[in-house]
Amino acid sequence: MEKSLVLIKPDAVQRGLAGEIISRLEKKGLSIVAMKMLHMDRALAQRHYAVHTGKAFFDDLLHFITSGPIIAIVFQGRNAVEVIRQVMGATDPAKASSGTIRGDFGIDIGHNLVHGSDSLDNASGEIDLFFSAEEILSYDRDLDNWIY
């Protein structure tokens, strides 16, 4: 089973969309194995978004992601990375399909509600930024036998 990180960003928290986002991902068969609400500080934001260092939007991204609380979640399931990315939709809500989180609720590329790991390798590193091994639970759901 794959694990992937999802961050529910400040715009989604402020707009009361956290439950909707979590619900959509759980309905696709994914399980929550770790979750916490936090206020991301600038140092953590710089580490998490290091790939964007030096890009024109980097400072705005750091300001936005540290502007309010976020919810960090580790989801587990078959093809978790791919499933999460499909449910989220394109990074730019203007290009996201209807029926996706960003297509239905996103405002613009700078306020796109949610982050999801883009690969298994990145998922592992991102999860380690937000959670210790002890914070990630493993459990079986009776439903998993029906899904998998």
Q: Which of the residues are catalytic?
A: 115
Residue 34, exposed/middle/buried by CB under 10 A (0-12, 13-18, 19+)?
A: buried
Q: If we measure between CA atoms, which residue out of 103, 78, 79 comes closest to residue 89?
A: 103
Q: Which H/E stretch holds residue 86?
A: helix 80-88
Whole-number Å distance between alpha carbons of 30 and 13: 21
